Amino acid sequence: MHSESPLKILGIETSCDETAAAVIEDGSTILSSVVASQVEVHKAYGGVVPELASRKHIENICIVVDQAIAEAGISRQEIDGVAVTRGPGLVGALLVGFSFAKALSYGLGVPWIGVDHLEGHLNSVFLSQKKPSFPFVALLVSGGHTAIYHVLSHTSARCLGQTRDDAAGEAFDKVAKMLDLDYPGGVVISRLAEQGNPEKIKFPRAWLDKDGFAFSFSGLKTAVKRYIETHADYREHIADIAAGFETAAVDVLTHKLIHAAETTGVRDIAIVGGVAANKRLRATVAEAARSLNLNLHVPAIELCGDNAAMIAATGYHYLADPDGPRGKLSDDVYSRMLR
Ligand code: KG4
Ligand code: ZN
């Protein structure tokens, strides 16, 4: 670290289909956050095509990083360190950002660190004005993961339970596909659900062990599929299907998060990840939190989905520590969740 002024960390994220870069000052002030979505590329295939994602990252990475530095109003020489997503994610996609970050920090002569993508999502709540106190519990709901964490510090969290099959976002995307809706489905389903009656079609809630923190969404997904197959006129009440599905998923997510808060005795709770943008989830958890006097923390909508601000904010806590770990040129990426 070579500056006396607040540390400026450049974050880079390429774990899936967003090429993102951001500059964060002092661990929580966003100077810039650029996200280049590849949705248009993958839309035609109804899902992310890994090789296309890698190629698109290669095309975009220099542009996105330059834009983040320019929008932050700084020069490259003012960057104190680089934080980059190391995993989990698509290996070919991760390698683009990871190799770029190694080369850039080597060229600039600044330290760098590989950051866990999920730890990044957990830290996304610290980019808001009102910050949670440790320890807190967080529901991480994204396209690739669904889990509840007991978060002890910026760099340490214990997973209390996770999904046994699909992730919540994946279930939203698959149900959208069944209903012939646009890709990616989460946001389309939630928009449609606003016009539907959530009581009309009752889909099953997969509580599993009601006291536990494991999730399963495959039964709910199958129930929606069966409903579609057995109701020839299903197109006429598609909004009710969306609302019924969404409510079934949100009920279970909310119950387990609140139960985790009660079990661990924390006062602060959080929802993070792409599905944390869901209005019904935010409203239902907010209502439960209010009735129990818990402090709810949710990231701004643009920080729920994948972004590099959360990666920079996480990397800061490693890089600001003179004795903290540093990335090495021999470091590699990983595809699967570490804990
Ligand atoms: O965190 P994220 O951007 O990427 C992963 O790390 O997976 O999450 C993307 C997921 C997708 O499955 C998308 O459909 C879902 O988040 N999503 C939503 C909403 N907005 C995005 N799901 C439900 N309601 C939304 N409003
Ligand atoms: Zn993510």
CATH number of the domain at 265, please: 3.30.420.40
- This prediction has a pTM of 0.96
Condensed to tens digits (0 to 9), the pLDDT of residues 60-94 reads 999 999 999 999 999 999 999 999 999 999 999 99
Domain match, 90 and 219 both: no
pLDDT at position 3 is: 52
- Indicate the top mutation candidate among 122, 123, 142 to test ligand 1's pocket, ranked by most ligand atoms within 8 A of CB: 142
The number of folded domains in the chain is: 2
Q: Indicate whether 187 belongs to any domain.
A: yes
Ligand 1 midpoint to CA 8 (Å):
28
Edge-to-edge strand list for the sheet holding 295-297? 156-162, 146-153, 136-141, 268-272, 295-297
| Cβ neighbours, 10 Å, residue 159 | 16
Q: Is residue 273 in contact with ligand 1, taking CB distance under 6 Å?
A: yes
Here the tokens at position 25 are 């000052």
Domain match, 68 and 141 both: no
Domain match, 103 and 234 both: no
Q: Indicate whether 335 belongs to any domain.
A: no
Domain match, 39 and 116 both: yes
Domain match, 40 and 101 both: yes
Ligand 2 midpoint to CA 118 (Å):
7
Give the side-chain half-sphere CA count within 13 A for 300: 12
89 CA: nearest ligand 1 atom:
6
Condensed to tens digits (0 to 9), the pLDDT of residues 96-126 reads 999 999 999 999 999 999 999 999 999 999 9
Ligand 1 midpoint to CA 185 (Å):
8
Say which ligand is closest to the CA of 141: 1
Compute φ and ψ for 290, nearest 5 degrees: -60, -45
Ligand 1 midpoint to CA 188 (Å):
11
Domain match, 172 and 261 both: yes
Checking if the pLDDT of 134 tops 90, the result is: yes
Q: Is residue 108 in contact with ligand 1, taking CB distance under 6 Å?
A: no
Q: 195: Cβ–Cβ under 8 A, 6 or more apart, which residues? A: 239, 243
**By three-state DSSP, how is residue 32 classified?**
strand
Q: Indicate whether 1 belongs to any domain.
A: no
Q: Indicate whether 72 belongs to any domain.
A: yes
Checking if the pLDDT of 54 tops 90, the result is: yes
Q: Indicate whether 168 belongs to any domain.
A: yes
Q: Is residue 143 in contact with ligand 1, taking CB distance under 6 Å?
A: yes
117 CA: nearest ligand 1 atom:
6
pLDDT at position 46 is: 85
Q: Is residue 242 in contact with ligand 1, taking CB distance under 6 Å?
A: no
Domain match, 179 and 261 both: yes
Domain match, 202 and 253 both: yes
Q: Is residue 185 in contact with ligand 1, taking CB distance under 6 Å?
A: yes
pLDDT at position 1 is: 53
Expressed as residue numbers, the domain containing 74 is 8-123+304-319
pLDDT at position 292 is: 98
15 CA: nearest ligand 1 atom:
6
Rounded Cα distance, 165 and 147, in Å:
11
Q: Is residue 217 in contact with ligand 1, taking CB distance under 6 Å?
A: no
Say which ligand is closest to the CA of 305: 1
Domain match, 74 and 161 both: no
Q: Indicate whether 42 belongs to any domain.
A: yes
Q: Indicate whether 326 belongs to any domain.
A: no
Domain match, 140 and 282 both: yes
Q: Is residue 306 in contact with ligand 1, taking CB distance under 6 Å?
A: yes
What residues pack around ion ligand 2 (CB closer than 5 A)?
Answer: 142, 306
Mean pLDDT over the full length of the chain: 96
Q: For a pLDDT cut of 90, what percent of the chain falls above it?
A: 94
**By three-state DSSP, how is residue 158 classified?**
strand
Domain match, 174 and 80 both: no
Compute φ and ψ for 138, nearest 5 degrees: -130, 135
Q: Is residue 89 in contact with ligand 1, taking CB distance under 6 Å?
A: no
- Does 299 sit behind a cis peptide bond, omega within 30 degrees of 0 on the bond before it? no
DSSP for 183-202, written as a single string: SSHHHHHHHHHTTS-TTTS-
Domain match, 290 and 141 both: yes
142 CA: nearest ligand 1 atom:
8
Q: Is residue 274 in contact with ligand 1, taking CB distance under 6 Å?
A: yes
Q: Indicate whether 141 belongs to any domain.
A: yes
